[in-house]
């Protein structure tokens, strides 16, 4: 039967993240898996999302060759019709279960006349079926159905049971508080189901939205001697889907382009430039220029000038961004005072460092000692971040599956996020003295074996200054939530950390949304020196204690990979979207100036 499409609203920031290609998304009445970007197309088969302009520096610094495009956007009209191009999704898992009798049905919606009203045919009350909340995942990124028939018969010894091939007589039953059992009503085979089984599986598995003849598939247990195994997981398990995303800020010169000018419009419109390049004679070229001048409401000479600007390297004009230097370039941009800034630019900062130093000299000795640890303070009235989705992994896999799953696409999905924030940098000389202390180095060394075992490539290397910056960032976000009225889940951190020869020790706390209007300016207001001083002092005071002390303070390891020490939900952790490092690598002892702290205090030094 032809099932009419149903629109499931998703935020763009989620679509370039945990709800992107290959993820399982909760709809109103169903679970669906997002299809790969080869299917994010219009009726002509072309990519439906519009290109993102002025991201050449971002692409170069992140090492991205592909074009960046926004996801397609659709909306439901009042009459129920859908306008625009939807990101396609497939209903998955295919298996459903009766909540009353436990009977399993495979794709029951194929036979039902009402899409969301698939009901059990075994029970008198015909309860509505629900999709099973377990899937089969593989470290290579593959996702498939749980092999229920195989599981039910895997422990069988009776020949009649081992030869049973029926899939329409299965039940998944609750064992009265002792887990679940999968059984076959036809041959009476049964097995305990724990929801975490691992095994090699010889059936082909790939991705749920692919056809049977698609060339992207995997034969698990094909005799190649590898030990990688598929595993059954709950769909809510974080190992089912881990997106790989990168982000970068748009900084000068690209952030300073004048929107709406002739060169801006021509730079964005590659079709018009191709029309000019395609003119074979001077007369034909003049004709195209006159036509475009009419469309752009300018003169042909202005079109010619715009073409010269683009040929001269507009908007970078010969600047060659270095791959991997994303944070270094941004750190320098925050400290650079830009002349003649306009409010409509994509990077507007106001350096408050001189005002900050004057304030430090006028406050009490204790507050001055704390505040003098901050060397630079910058109010960020406007910023634009580019977030790029580059693929996903499952079950801790090392290689990410690309958004098109085959690695042949010439574009990547991305979004523009607009917002504001607070940037500050610590005193480099003071920081070097602190991090060279033997006690500080020893506490870091105690954490290193776990960090190495964790296997993450960021931060690289792990340093005591990073532990200080990251923990301080979390303490400040919690304090901003308390005083500034911003929920911590709205905030984001960006840590700038490196040691000589190009030292960095900075923190950006910002809010960014996929709306050109950005936020309302409340966070940038907190960067005014006197307001920031109050937030900083309170955050440092709170680093000294936790409601779970002395247990939290003395903890040897907690959180992901046991990579947190004196840091828990009561004192330091923030909502997951706010943290760059999965709420790991946090320790209040690197920040606290409590007399009982085992470390010398960076902010308590005179």
Domain for residue 72, yes or no?
A: no
**Contacting residues for 392 by C-beta, under 8 A, at least 6 apart:** 20, 21, 22, 23, 141, 241, 242, 243, 244, 400, 401
Q: How many CB atoms lie within 10 A of CB 397?
A: 18
Tell which residue, 495, 449, 465, 459, has the closest CA to residue 587.
Answer: 465
171 & 273 share domain: no
Domain membership of residue 400 (yes or no) is yes
301 and 337 share one domain: no
Tokens 């991997």 belong to residue: 324
Structural contact between residues 505 and 566, judged by C-beta atoms closer than 8 angstroms: no
Structure tokens at 448: 């290193």
Residue 292: inside a domain: yes
Claim to verify: residue 197 and residue 274 sit in the same structural domain: no
Number of H helices, E strands in the chain: 16, 24
143 and 117 fall within a common domain: yes
Query: Are 151 and 280 members of one domain?
Result: no
Q: Are residues 89 and 132 in the same domain?
A: yes
Round to whole Å and give the CA distance between 409 and 41.
12
Q: Are 90 and 56 in contact (CB under 8 A)?
A: no
DSSP state letters, 495-529: EEEE-TTS-EEEEEEEEEESSTT---SHHHHTTSH
Distance CA 219, CA 202 (A): 6
Asked if the structure places residue 5 within a domain, the reply is no
Are 219 and 265 contained in the same domain? no
Looking at residue 222, what is its pLDDT?
41
Inside any domain, residue 559: yes
Whole-number Å distance between alpha carbons of 585 and 470: 8
pLDDT tens digits along 7-19: 888 888 889 999 9
Domain match, 305 and 331 both:
no
In a domain, 168, yes or no: yes
**Based on the domain organization, do 377 and 495 belong to the same domain?**
yes
Q: What is the structure's pLDDT at 205?
A: 64
Within-domain flag for 243: no
| Of 433, 493, 436, 497, the residue nearest 468 (C-alpha) | 497
Same domain (yes/no): 190, 297: no
User: In this predicted structure, what is the pLDDT of residue 353?
Assistant: 96
Sign of the Cα pseudo-torsion (301, 303, 309, 311, in order): negative
The answer for residues whose C-beta is within 8 angstroms of residue 157's C-beta and 6 or more apart is none
- Within 8 A by CB and 6+ apart from 474, the residues are 493, 567, 572, 573, 574, 579, 586
pTM of the model: 0.88
So what's the pLDDT on residue 516? 63
Query: 371 and 302 share a domain?
Result: no
DSSP letter (8 states) at residue 461: S
Is the CB of residue 523 less than 8 Å from the CB of residue 532? no
Q: Quick check: is 544 in a domain?
A: yes
Count of structural domains within the chain = 3
Instruction: Output phi, psi for 375, to 5 deg.
Output: -95, -40
- Summarize pLDDT for 242-283 with one digit per residue, the tens: 999 999 999 999 999 988 999 999 999 989 999 999 999 999
Helix (H, G, I), strand (E, B) or coil at 132: coil
Please, what are the averages of pLDDT over each run of 10 residues along the chain (606 residues)? 69 91 91 95 91 92 93 87 90 94 91 66 90 93 91 88 89 82 93 87 74 54 55 93 94 91 92 92 94 94 94 83 85 92 91 96 90 96 96 90 94 95 96 94 94 84 96 96 84 94 95 73 91 95 92 91 94 92 94 82 73
Distance, CA of 540 to CA of 141 (rounded, Å): 43
Same domain, 346 and 492: yes
CA neighbours closer than 13 Å in the CB half-sphere of residue 83 = 5
Q: For residue 189, what are the domain limits?
A: 12-49+81-235
């Amino acid at each position: 039967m032809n099932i009419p499409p149903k629109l499931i609203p998703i935020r763009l920031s989620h679509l370039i993240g945990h709800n992107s290609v290959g993820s399982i998304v909760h709809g109103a009445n169903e679970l669906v898996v997002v299809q790969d970007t080869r299917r994010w197309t219009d009726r002509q088969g072309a990519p439906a999302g519009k290109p993102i302009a002025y991201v050449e520096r971002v692409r170069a610094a992140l090492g991205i060759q592909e074009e960046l495009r926004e996801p397609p956007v659709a909306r439901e009209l009042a009459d129920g019709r859908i306008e625009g191009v939807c990101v396609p999704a497939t209903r998955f898992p295919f298996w459903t279960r009766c909540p009353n009798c436990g009977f399993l049905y495979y794709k029951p919606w194929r036979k039902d006349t009402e899409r969301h009203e698939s009901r059990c045919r075994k029970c008198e009350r015909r309860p509505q079926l629900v999709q099973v909340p377990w899937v089969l995942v593989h470290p290579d990124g593959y996702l498939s159905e749980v092999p229920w028939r195989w599981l039910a018969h895997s422990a069988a010894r009776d020949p009649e049971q081992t030869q049973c091939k029926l899939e329409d007589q299965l039940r998944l039953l609750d064992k009265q508080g002792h887990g679940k059992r999968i059984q076959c009503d036809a041959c009476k085979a049964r097995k305990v189901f724990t929801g975490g089984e691992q095994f090699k599986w010889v059936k082909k598995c790939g991705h749920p939205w692919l056809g049977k003849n698609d060339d992207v598939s995997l034969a698990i247990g094909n005799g190649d001697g590898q030990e990688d195994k598929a595993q059954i997981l709950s769909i809510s398990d974080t190992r089912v889907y881990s997106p790989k995303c990168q982000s970068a800020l748009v900084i000068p010169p690209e952030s300073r382009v004048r929107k709406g000018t002739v060169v801006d419009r021509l730079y964005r419109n590659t079709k018009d430039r191709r029309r000019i390049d395609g003119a074979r004679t001077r007369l034909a070229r003049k004709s195209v220029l006159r036509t475009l001048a009419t469309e752009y409401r300018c003169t042909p000479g202005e079109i010619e000038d715009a073409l010269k600007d683009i040929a001269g390297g507009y908007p970078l004009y010969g600047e060659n961004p270095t791959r991997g230097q994303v944070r270094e370039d941004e750190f320098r941009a925050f400290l650079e005072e830009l002349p003649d800034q306009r409010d409509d630019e994509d990077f507007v900062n106001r350096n408050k460092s001189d005002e900050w130093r004057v304030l430090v000299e006028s406050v009490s000795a204790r507050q001055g000692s704390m505040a003098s640890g901050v060397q630079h303070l910058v109010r960020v009235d406007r910023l634009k971040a580019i977030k790029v989705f580059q693929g996903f992994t499952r079950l801790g896999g090392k290689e990410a599956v690309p958004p098109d799953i085959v690695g042949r696409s010439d574009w990547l999905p991305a979004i523009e996020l607009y917002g504001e924030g607070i940037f500050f940098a610590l005193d480099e000389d003071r920081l070097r003295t602190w991090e060279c202390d033997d006690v500080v180095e020893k506490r870091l060394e105690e954490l290193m074996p776990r960090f190495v075992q964790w296997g993450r490539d960021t931060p690289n290397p792990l340093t005591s200054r990073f532990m200080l910056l990251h923990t301080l960032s979390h303490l400040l976000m919690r304090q901003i939530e308390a005083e500034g009225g911003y929920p911590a889940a709205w905030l984001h951190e960006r840590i700038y950390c490196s040691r000589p020869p190009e030292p960095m020790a900075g923190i950006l706390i910002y809010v960014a949304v996929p709306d050109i209007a950005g936020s309302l300016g409340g966070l940038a207001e907190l960067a005014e020196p006197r307001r920031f001083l109050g937030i900083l002092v309170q955050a440092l005071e709170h680093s000294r204690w936790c409601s779970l002390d002395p247990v939290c303070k003395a903890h040897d390891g907690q959180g992901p990979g046991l990579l947190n020490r004196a840091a828990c939900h009561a004192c330091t952790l923030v909502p997951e979207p706010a943290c760059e490092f999965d709420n790991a690598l946090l320790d209040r002892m690197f920040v606290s100036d409590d007399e009982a702290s085992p470390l010398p205090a960076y902010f308590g030094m005179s």
